[in-house]
Amino acid sequence: MTLTLEDFPPGHFGTFGPRHVTREEILAFAAEYDPQPMHLDEEAAKHSMLQGLAGSGWHLCSIMMRMMFDGYIDRTAGLGSPGINEMRWFAPLRPEDDLTLDVEVLEARVSRSRPDTGIVTFQCAIRNAAGQRLCEMISPVIIRRRADALTEQVG
Amino acid sequence: MRFFEDIEIGQRRELGSFTFTADLIRAFAVQFDPQPFHLTEEEGRKSLFGGLAASGWHVAAVFMKLMVADDQREARETAARGERVAVGGPSPGFKELRWIKPVLAGDVISYAKQVESLRLSEKRPEWGILQSRNTGTNQRGELAFSFLGTVFVPRRRV
């Protein structure tokens, strides 16, 4: 069954994962998109503020996107997102981390400009196996309403 | 990357452009964001985007790719002049990221960054904290992508 706006009431939505992240993945993403020494070179990373090899924050975002997709977006009538209100990177992504995604719905409302859709504002956070919070994101997503939602209102 | 002392509010750098081909869009989406409108032209046409559209995270990752390349160019030029090279720190996050226009197959996005604010770190006296407005503009001159990034920048001397 496809999830619609009605399936996202404010509150805890779900917990997803774990997703294992290998050193090879971290190096491959960094080589392509963020080739800074702290993401590529163990020795340089040791002397950086991150104190050891760390995945790019953009890699963590991309992995979070995939965890969201596998967790619920794949079965949601989602139409895309206009942006990210805020992303905070608290702690580095490390090689061989096991990541868990916690999803909260902060707000869900019907769209004024497109009444057959709604806007759900999510708070998504990633933690590692030790329970350390690595990042937190607040982002709206456009989601279709149930097919009969409009007729119900009219009728 | 420049030292804290050499940075001024309003400084702008053009970071270069990138062509989002259908193959590149699909390759990123298959790995990280396999929503149908990022995978096929047909599904893209049926979506709000009106065509095969790059994942927003792909558009953001390419900003980073071009920014790091620009940093490395600047570092080589600095080293060639015999001056000390500034090595940037990590980022605590970003705000106000907007995917304003879809990035469709064939679109060419030109990226830029502009310094918006600058202050000293209270907790880390050897670092400053820079905020920059980072943007991507398509081949029609339309602003397609924008965010306010934050990054640690080294001080020349403490």
Whole-number pLDDT of residue B1: 85
Which one-letter amino acid corresponds to residue A40? L
Q: Is the pLDDT of residue A90 over 80?
A: yes
Bond prior to B92 in cis (omega within 30° of 0) = no
Q: Taking CB atoms and an 8 Å limit, are A66 and B152 in contact across chains? A: no
- Cα-Cα-Cα-Cα torsion A62, A66, A67, A73, nearest 10 degrees, comes to 130
A interface with B, Cβ–Cβ < 8 A, is: 32-38, 48-50, 54, 56-58, 61-63, 65-66, 69, 73-74, 78-89, 92, 135, 142
- Element housing B22 (H / E): helix B22-32
pTM of the model: 0.95
Which of A53, A65, A73 to mutate against chain B (most B CBs within 10 Å)?
A65
CB atoms within 10 A of CB A14: 11
CB atoms within 10 A of CB B152: 18
Q: Which residues of B7-23 are buried (b: 16+ CB within 10 A; e: fewer)?
A: beeeeebebebbebebe
Percent of chain A with pLDDT over 90: 92
- Element housing B108 (H / E): strand B108-120
What span, in angstroms and rounded, lies between the C-alpha atoms of B93 and B125? 19
Question: What pLDDT, in 10s, does the model give residues B95-152?
Answer: 999 999 999 999 999 999 999 999 999 999 999 999 999 999 999 999 999 999 999 9
Mean pLDDT of chain A: 95
Whole-number pLDDT of residue A51: 93
Report the Cα B84 to chain-centroid distance in Å.
25
Question: What pLDDT, in 10s, does the model give residues A11-20?
Answer: 999 999 999 9
B interface with A, Cβ–Cβ < 8 A, is: 31-35, 37, 47-49, 53, 55-57, 60-62, 64-65, 68, 72, 87-99, 124, 127, 147, 152
Whole-number pLDDT of residue A155: 40
> Residue A151 — pLDDT band, cuts 50, 70, 90?
low
Q: Taking CB atoms and an 8 Å limit, are A62 and B57 in contact across chains? A: yes
Question: What pLDDT, in 10s, does the model give residues B44-97?
Answer: 999 999 999 999 999 999 999 999 999 999 999 999 999 999 999 999 999 999
3-state SS track over chain A: CCECHHHCCCEEEEEEEEEECCHHHHHHHHHHHCCCHHHHCHHHHHCCCCCCCCECHHHHHHHHHHHHHHHCHHHECEEECCEEEEEEECCCECCCCEEEEEEEEEEEEECCCCCCEEEEEEEEEEECCCCCEEEEEEEEEEEECCCCHHHHHHC
Question: What pLDDT, in 10s, does the model give residues B20-43?
Answer: 999 999 999 999 999 999 999 999
Residue recorded with tokens 């090879």: A24
Fold of domain B4-154: Thiol Ester Dehydrase; Chain A (3.10.129)
Task: Say if CB B49 and CB B36 are below 8 A apart.
Answer: no
Q: Which residues of B92-109 are buried (b: 16+ CB within 10 A; e: fewer)?
A: ebbbebbbebbbbbebeb
For A77, name the nearest residue in chain B, comparing CA atoms only: B35
Please classify residue A77 by burial: count the beta carbons closer than 10 Å to its beta carbon, then call 0-12 exposed, 13-18 middle and 19+ buried.
middle
Residue boundaries of the structural domains of chain B: 4-154
Q: Is the pLDDT of residue A38 over 80?
A: yes
Residue A121: domain span: 5-154
**What CATH code is carried by the domain that includes residue A12?**
3.10.129.10
Task: Indicate if ipTM > 0.90.
Answer: yes
Whole-number pLDDT of residue A150: 67
Question: What pLDDT, in 10s, does the model give residues A95-119?
Answer: 999 999 999 999 999 999 999 999 9
What span, in angstroms and rounded, lies between the C-alpha atoms of A34 and A28? 10
- Total number of domains in chain A: 1
Whole-number pLDDT of residue A149: 77
Which one-letter amino acid corresponds to residue A72? Y
Q: Taking CB atoms and an 8 Å limit, are A83 and B55 in contact across chains? A: no
